[in-house]
Amino acid sequence: MRTVAIIQARMQATRLPGKVLADLEGQPVLSRVLDRARRAITLDAVVVATSDNPADDVLASFCREFGIDCFRGSRDDVLDRYRRAARSFQAEVVVRLTADCPLLDPQVIDRVVRTYRQGEFDYVSNTVECTYPDGLDTEVVACEALERAWWEARWRSEREHVTSYITQHPELFRLHNVSCDEDLSGLRWTVDEPEDLEFVRAVYRGCGPGPFGMNEVLRLLQEQPQLIEINRGFERNEGYVRSLREDRLTKSSETR
């Protein structure tokens, strides 16, 4: 069961352009994400999936320079980009990660992948019911389910947000959620805003140069709770919420 992590990345982020190559204590954010993903022992390969937009040429060049597998596809139809990347790298199972999560924990990735392998599931994640910090998101999906979503998904939100068609149709797909031992969903560890980048930089300084995971970050935040205030107050999954709003507007116009 060839398991391939596909990390979606692009330069033209709405709120923080260029964030995936922003400096994070001496390395680009994307390098930090790749390093963490590669430490997950359940993965057979790790691939960056960026767009074919000229703005993302710099990402493709970055991957070539450092010997990173890279696939380029549609900017807006990210579901199609994932489907084609999965086919290109002979994936049987796809692990969806994003390039704006430089605090990813390899042990969390492995836990979600192992849960998928132990059951008869089409999709397993820690995001159907959010209990992990925002930024540790890991989704595991069978390529057959991804293929069906590609054929059937119609709305912008379903094409832009790769697994949304699957998670919104539990009558069609066998879904399972992996929960944290305590609800940590109020913690924001992703990078969408300048304040988020400031926060993760503070975490990397506080946790030191060696490998660290979720527990070490939690310990740092217990010792320095003021760090949580750096990026408090932003909405989780704001991009997905915006896409759903645009879907509603489109549906409304079609019924007139």
The overall average pLDDT reported for the chain is: 92
For strands 93-98 and 45-51, give the pairing.
unpaired
In the sheet with 175-177, reading across from the earlier edge strand, the strands are 70-73, 45-51, 3-8, 93-98, 139-142, 123-125, 175-177
- Ramachandran assignment for 101, one of left (phi > 0), alpha (psi -120 to 50 degrees), beta (any other): beta
Instruction: Return the CATH number at 39.
Output: 3.90.550.10
CA distance readout (Å), 147 to 48, 125, 132, 154, 237: 19, 18, 28, 13, 24
Give pLDDT, residue 242: 54
Residue with tokens 């507007």: 249
Closest CA to 17 of 171, 193, 183, 182: 193
Per-residue pLDDT, averaged over 66-73, amounts to: 97
Query: pLDDT per residue over 75-94, tens digit each?
Result: 999 999 999 999 999 999 99
Give pLDDT, residue 194: 96
Q: Is it the case that residue 249 has pLDDT exceeding 80?
A: no
Q: For residue 27, what are the domain limits?
A: 3-254
Total of domains in the chain: 1
CA distance 16 to 14: 6
Give pLDDT, residue 13: 81
Query: pLDDT per residue over 156-210, tens digit each?
Result: 999 999 999 999 999 999 999 999 999 999 999 999 999 999 999 999 999 987 8
Alpha-carbon dihedral 44, 6, 141, 17, rounded to 10 degrees = 160
Give pLDDT, residue 254: 47
Query: pLDDT per residue over 88-126, tens digit each?
Result: 999 999 999 999 999 999 999 999 999 999 989 999 999
Give pLDDT, residue 15: 81
Give pLDDT, residue 121: 97
